[in-house]
Amino acid sequence: MVRIYGCCLALLLALLSFATAGAAADAREDQRDIAGMVEKYRQSIVHADDIRRAEQVWLLSPEVSFIHPRGHERGWAAIQDNFYGKTMRDTFSQRALQVTTTPVVRFYGDAAVVEFDWEFTATRRRDGSVRRATGRESQVYARTPQGWRLVQVHYSGPAKP
C-alpha cells in the first residue's frame, strides 16, 4: 500500500514540476512578446507616416483609448486620425522616441500593464524647429487570438518633485 502511494506521489510531483516548468516558459515568452510590442509601438511613433506599423500594435477597436497632453482619443479611428495623423505625422517631419528606462511589466491573466520613461525629439514641419520632451507612460495590453495588442496608453510629463 505504501509503495502505491509513494508511486502516486512521485507521479504527482513529476506532473507538478512539468506544469511549473511550462508556466515559467510561458511567462518568459509573454515577457518577450510584450517587450517586442513596446518596440513595435516605439517604431510606430518614429514612422507615424506608415499607419500599418501602428495597426500591428493596437487592437483596432472602438474600445481602445489614448490619453496624452493634447487630448484623450477614444477608439482606434480617433487614435489613428488625431494622434498618429494630426499630432505625429502632420506636426513633425522627423520623430525619435527612446525608451529610457527598462519597461516594468505586470501580468494579470490575459492583460499586461507596462510602465516606462521616454525621451522624444522631433522636428516641426512648419519651421524646422526641434522639440524635445521627456515623460512617463503606462500601457495596457490584452491577449487576443492575434497575440498581445495595445488597448490603452496614458502618458504625461516627468514627475515634478
Query: What is the domain count for the chain?
Result: 1
- 71's CB contacts (< 8 A; 6+ apart) are 82, 83
Question: Which residues form the domain of 54?
Answer: 2-156
Provide the 3-class DSSP secondary structure of residue 40.
helix
Amino acid letter, residue 152: Q
Q: Which of 76, 46, 65 is nearest to 140 (CA)?
A: 65
pLDDT at position 43: 98
pLDDT at position 31: 96
Per-10-residue mean pLDDT of the chain, 161 residues long, equals 50 43 71 97 97 98 95 97 96 98 97 98 98 97 97 92 82
pLDDT at position 3: 58
Can you give the pTM of this predicted structure? 0.83
> Looking at the domain assignment, is residue 161 inside a domain?
no
Could you write out the three-class secondary structure of 121-143?
Answer: EEEECCCCCEEEEEEEEEEEEEE
Q: Each residue of 59-91: b (16+ CB within 10 Å) or e?
A: beeeebbbebeeeebeebebbbebbbbebbbeb
Q: Is there a contact between 44 and 84 (Cβ–Cβ < 8 Å)? A: yes
Give the domain CATH number at 120: 3.10.450.50
pLDDT at position 17: 47
> Looking at the domain assignment, is residue 120 inside a domain?
yes
Query: What gap in Å lies between CA 136 and CA 56, rounded to an integer?
Result: 22
Using alpha carbons, list the distances in angstroms from residue 158 to 65, 152, 161: 21, 19, 10
